[in-house]
Amino acid sequence: MSAWGAPLKRLLPRSRFARSVALLAGGTAVGQAISILASPLLTRLYLPGDFGLLALYASLLSVLLPSISLQYQEAIPLPAEEEDALHLLALSLVTLLVLSGLVGLIILLFGGPLVRWANLPALRPYLWLLPVGLIFAGTYQVMSLWVLRQQLFPALARTRVQQGLSALVTQALLGLLHAGPWGLLTGDIVGRTSGVLSLWRSAVPRRFLHGLNVAGMVRMAVRYRRFPLVSSVSALFNGIGLHYPPIIFAALYGSQTVGWLFLTERVLGLPMNVIGNAIGNVFFGQAAQLVHQDPQALARLHASLTFKLLLLSALPTLAIMLLAPSVFALVFGESWREAGVYAQILAPAAVFRLMSSPLTSIFTVTERLEMHLWWDVTRFVAVLAPLYLAHALQLSARAAVVGYALGQLLSYLLLVGLSRYVVLRGIKGTKHA
């Protein structure tokens, strides 16, 4: 399970939870390792500006993706009855197709004026890929929640490997053909799409279509109406706070700066993507059961994982803060040294993101969605305000990164406290499915 496997095994409980995390983290680790190990090749096939355009596209996609099914997919693990969950699955997919089509129509009618208004004209030729990416990545997102409900972690782990391999092969081949930004964007879409069919075959019963009806979907839409009304707004603010900064950096400081930032966040995000997401996925499934069966066990699990995530991130963060510029220049090429400086600046915030983000499903399983929305709005302001302030004061891109890092650090510290508050004080207010 990579170098992270041994400490993870020692630190996590020796239980089915630990085995599930290890399995899912192993698949994710292989997929992410493929991407990271291939980066020295890709940074020599593509220019920083090409990566900047990929970052812009990925940012737009990531802002819209969590809300493209109006967050109904997040409710899939919650119903006690399988029939209700199947209707939620269908509702999520229908909503995804309708809203992706709406995004495509908006791009067709207003794409040109929108990119000119945002001062991002270089993005115009690639905008039509956005609804395509939303459909495929959104379907994978929905299917992942269904698979988590079924606790079919091996199937999910296999798709993480498929995604890393397919993206790498596509981007490398198109890079050798000098495809420029098209190569990176096409590879990104191919990678996000991989594994959808295998998840469907593994987890969705053959009787899926026979048991569905409109009345059932309407009933689930009403029962879980707080997800589109509250959680989807929260997810939108979360996506903007997390993924919109590269768009602002591009508008204010140019695509080269965004390329450096993109590589930095890809490297710093490796522990989050491998360990954090694996723990978060398994924790969601466990928490959805414990919140009804044993709230005290849920509180203990939450505290244990928060502390262990802090331990796991401490040493790698120290190494990054000491060595990142030289290592980035050696591994990715001298033109990427500045990305290493950005890594030094952003590393402390990455620690608290890894501590807090994997466990945010606690707001979902307790249906304390308004509290998560409040935090998302707070993080939105804390992260974006320093960027505009740095530009207004005519500060350098590096100074803007410092402000961006400080906003992240403070907001994730707040998230640690809020999630713990919900566990200790909010369990009694849980609404049963």
Q: Is the pLDDT higher at 428 or at 107?
A: 107
- Position 386 scores a pLDDT of 92
Our count of domains for the chain comes to 1
pTM exceeds 0.75 for this model: no
Q: What is the mean pLDDT of residues 335-362?
A: 86
- Position 411 scores a pLDDT of 92
- Position 100 scores a pLDDT of 95
Q: What is the mean pLDDT of residues 408-428?
A: 83
Nearest-angstrom CA–CA distance, 232 and 238 = 9
CA triplet 193, 196, 197: central angle to 5 degrees? 125
Nearest-angstrom CA–CA distance, 154 and 152 = 6
Q: For residue 268, give both structure tokens.
A: 């710093």
- Position 95 scores a pLDDT of 94
Lowest-confidence range among 25-34, 234-243, 369-378?
Answer: 25-34
Q: Is the pLDDT higher at 428 or at 356?
A: 356
Contact 404, 258 (CB under 8 A): no
Q: How confident is the model at residue 15 (pLDDT cuts 50, 70, 90)?
A: low
Q: What is the mean pLDDT of residues 87-112?
A: 92
Average pLDDT, the chain: 81
Nearest-angstrom CA–CA distance, 222 and 35 = 41
Q: What is the mean pLDDT of residues 395-423?
A: 91
Q: Going by C-beta distance under 8 Å and a sequence separation of 6 or more, which residues neighbour residue 161?
A: 27, 30, 31, 34
- Position 367 scores a pLDDT of 76
Q: How confident is the model at residue 138 (pLDDT cuts 50, 70, 90)?
A: very high
Contact 334, 43 (CB under 8 A): no
Of residues 420, 104, 148, the one with CA closest to residue 281: 148
Contact 227, 70 (CB under 8 A): yes
- Position 382 scores a pLDDT of 92
- Position 20 scores a pLDDT of 57
Q: Is the pLDDT of residue 433 over 60?
A: no
The position carrying tokens 């959680």 is 231
- Position 430 scores a pLDDT of 46
Q: Which residues of 250-280 are buried (b: 16+ CB within 10 A; e: fewer)?
A: bebbebbbbbbbbbbbbbbbbbbbbbbbbbb
Nearest-angstrom CA–CA distance, 418 and 433 = 23
Q: Is the pLDDT of residue 11 over 60?
A: no
Lowest-confidence range among 119-133, 289-303, 380-394, 417-431?
Answer: 417-431
Q: Is the pLDDT higher at 194 or at 68?
A: 68
Range of the domain at 9: 5-429
Q: Is the pLDDT of residue 400 over 90?
A: yes
Q: What is the mean pLDDT of residues 262-273?
A: 78
- Position 256 scores a pLDDT of 82
Q: For residue 231, give both structure tokens.
A: 């959680």
Q: What percentage of the chain has pLDDT greater than the value 90?
A: 17
Q: What is the mean pLDDT of residues 317-337?
A: 87
Q: For residue 6, give both structure tokens.
A: 């041994």
Contact 45, 170 (CB under 8 A): no
Predicted confidence (pLDDT) per residue in 69-94, tens digit: 888 888 888 887 888 888 999 999 99
Lowest-confidence range among 166-170, 188-192, 196-200?
Answer: 196-200
- Quick one: three-class SS letters along the chain? CCCCHHHHHHHCCCCHHHHHHHHHHHHHHHHHHHHHHHHHHHHHHCCHHHHHHHHHHHHHHHHHHHHCCCCHHHHCCCCCCHHHHHHHHHHHHHHHHHHHHHHHHHHHHHHHHHHHHCCCHHHHHHCCHHHHHHHHHHHHHHHHHHHHHHCCHHHHHHHHHHHHHHHHHHHHHHHHCCCCHHHHHHHHHHHHHCCHHHHHHHHCCCCCCCCCCHHHHHHHHHHCCHHHHHHHHHHHHHHHHHHCHHHHHHHHHCHHHHHHHHHHHHHHCHHHHHHHHHHHHHHHHHHHHHHHHCHHHHHHHHHHHHHHHHHHHHHHHHHHHHHHHHHHHHHHCHHHHHHHHHHHHHHHHHHHHHHHHHHCHHHHHCCCHHHHHHHHHHHHHHHHHHHHHHHHCCCCHHHHHHHHHHHHHHHHHHHHHHHHHHHHHCHHHCCCC
Residue 223 identity (one-letter amino acid): R
Predicted confidence (pLDDT) per residue in 19-71, tens digit: 555 555 555 566 666 766 777 788 888 887 788 888 888 888 988 888 888 88
Q: What is the mean pLDDT of residues 163-181?
A: 87
Nearest-angstrom CA–CA distance, 301 and 298 = 5
Q: What is the mean pLDDT of residues 180-204?
A: 82
- Position 1 scores a pLDDT of 42
